[in-house]
Structure 1
């Protein structure tokens, strides 16, 4: 029996990756991809209209507000999408017996732990983005019984969206020197690998609902990641990469947000 899967936030880097990898594959899944323009999760009427027209088995929620810096300045937008929007979607999934797969973040933790975070560790976000994502998690936990909340870290696509990987490549074309911080540590995660993990959960009909951590398992700083990107693209001889230990941002960020899969 073919399972029908709704993918929200289809124009984001993860949504586009899932589309590219699986839309045309014969894997027993039928996908419906919806962008924010067509399906705004902050509007209940949009959600109800779609769920009343079509029956879904799963909903992969890739819709999110991910601008960490701007979230500090306009937190109401982050909360509207990451918390209230997720609440709306959770209600629709509960009403229509749809299993929700929600993408969350390592930023629900404060970054003070010296060892990798496990799913049962206490959350303590230190910026508005992390707080809005945690509120979304809490809505899911209180409203649903059939759900997967997948916390991931430093997500990037080599092809889609705006992310650190593509930014480094872009800067490498116009600049001779890049100063990259060594103050934060995490696990950069390719959207391809996260997509495969999500699809595996669906294909295996996993009955083990709840919270999961998924990331690529190599721990590095942003400097290390930039170095890897340049080497991978044969650009390391063209750029002088400088370690910066006084990098400041408007939003506080976890010093170490390494997740244990």
Structure 2
């Protein structure tokens, strides 16, 4: 009997799939609950359970590009879907995910919210859109509003930035909802222009990975959910140091590299990831991509 002790039990049946289907499965989105992600999830659960008060607690989720912020907040929303026991006209929706507009536009943000909820968008003033948005969000009893890419507000003038931040404070106060703002480290600079926002939105940092026990455990977890029949020992010093160096410690890059290397191995009749798979799979790390882009200019 084959020994697949390196795999999670839910992954073992996937070994019966053909190569093409396994490769397709490898590239599907997956959730890995590493400590920083679990900490962020725990804090958002606290926001969801908090009673409605005049000054609701909020938070910022800050990290480098492709370092797992969006996956964390979307996972949180998936765990708190609308309550289908209510009629479709009045679904109770405890959490919602929105993306900040490319520039800090209050009108565009209201339009985005209403469109996502399949609601009519007033064609008149910003005030009409604001009133309609407030009415809809109260009706669905929203508790936690997640605004991703919030660092986009830096694309506008200082006046527009302040207007957008004022809108966030207004929504939180009037709806008595908690707001989770997500973005890169630029987000800390963006909110620094408003002391009230800075005080009401303590940051939770999602750091890049470093070479330590937690990183090697992360690689072992990845190995357990990638359907390859043979053990790769991704946590070994040789492979783990190489993976960290190429990806620069970004979990999104780590996932992309391992998925690409696993696919390369399967296409070449192999059932494990080794140094050759990592070097020849065609993955290009963020540092190399940046240098190539600069050289192309």
The bucket for the TM-score relative to the shorter chain is 0.3 to 0.5
Q: TM-score, normalised by structure 2?
A: 0.34
Q: TM-score, normalised by structure 1?
A: 0.37
Higher fraction of helix: 2
Which has more radius of gyration?
2
